[in-house]
Amino acid sequence: MIVTETAEKIKSMEIRGAGRIARTAAEALRVHATGCVTNDPVTFRWEMEAAAQTLVATRPTAVSLPNAVHIVMAGLKDAPTAREARDGVIERATKFIETSREAVGKIARIGARHIRDGDVILTHCNSEAALSCIVEAHREGKKIEVFATEVRPRNQGLVTIRTLNAAGIKTNFIVDSAVRSFINDVDLVIVGADAVTVNGAVVNKIGTSQVAHSAHEARVNVLVAAETYKFAPRTILGELISIEERSGEEVLPDEIARTLENVTVRNPAFDVTPAEYIDLIVTEEGAIPPQMAYIIIKEYLGWGIEEFHKAFEINTKHEE
């Protein structure tokens, strides 16, 4: 029940934001494990795997979701009893939720160091991690001003300006297409991430790559705030991040779209910003240039190319 409900809320974006999705999925697995009363470890594992699959299938782009599920489910296979398996899931889920929250606090403090007194910052979409840096810089007494975009079609910019307003930060609210007109008034761009690939490309809300492109052209630094669990291990194998395309109705009501027989409404929710347009990625483990993404995947997520070989039993030795 909790799993289906949570999955629905993630799909409909009632629960959104890559970090929040991950924590909510971990919480759903924790509750599901608690309520799964079987004494048979195999049945328990099957039930948990089905729940994990339902959650992961909700939104395909934010890698925080499969990473969180992977962390919570790790070791389930080796638990000798259902009880140990259940305790393990509960423990890992609790720890994940806790460290995810702490990570945002650490990112805030590290990110704020890169914001100077007097800076004008532009942010796109609504990222808890990106906003935490901005709010922390303000809290430290730096006099800052923000440009926040509207973020069509789901208007996450509204959530952003409410947070900035509540924190007492001077904010300008602009439509997405006004970014280039204002970029010369901006000192620093700060955005979040739904996924970071091994080559340092950042997948984030649609429009981020246009923002980063404008910033690059205007020589404005781009900082990405992302917890280590938003880095995508499978990109080591050359796997691409799939970009979610949501219903066209979010962009144009169906009753209008229906009258335009030659028009197809397209609604990709994310885009890819290449590493060359990004100056720094701030993680809870420190700030890194995007080209160092592999280090995060290997050292902090524990996925090196060797782990993939082991996991998929790829035989790297030639037969004699």
Residues that bind ligand RI2 (CB under 6 A): 16-19, 125, 127-130, 156, 191-194, 204-205, 269
Q: How many residues does the chain have?
A: 320
Please identify which of the residues 119, 125, 133, 279 carries the catalytic annotation.
125
Residue 9 near residue 59, CB atoms below 8 Å: no
User: Closest Cα to residue 283, out of 148, 109, 144?
Assistant: 109
Q: Closest approach of Cβ 279 to ligand RI2, in Å? A: 17
Q: How far apart are CA 19 and CA 165, in angstroms?
A: 22
Which residue is catalytic, options 119, 133, 194, 279?
Answer: 194
CA-CA-CA-CA torsion for 268, 272, 277, 281, nearest 10 degrees?
A: 110
Q: Is 133 a catalytic residue?
A: no
Output the CA torsion 179→125→96→133 (10° steps): 50
Strand arrangement, sheet containing 270-273? 195-196, 202-205, 270-273
Helix, strand, or coil (residue 1): coil
> Measured from the CB of residue 181, what is the shortest distance to ligand RI2 in angstroms?
22
Least distance in Å: CB of 253 to ligand RI2?
21
Residue number with CB closer to ligand RI2 (14 or 319): 14
- Is the Cβ of residue 82 or residue 282 nearer to ligand RI2 in the bound state? 282
Q: Note if 40 is an active site residue.
A: no
Nearer to ligand RI2, 48 or 223 (CB): 223
Residue number, 33 or 131, with CB nearest to ligand RI2:
131
Q: Rounded to the nearest whole angstrom, what is the least distance from the CB of residue 318 to ligand RI2 in the complex? A: 44
Residues 95, 229: Cα–Cα separation, whole Å: 13
Instruction: List active site positions.
Output: 125, 194
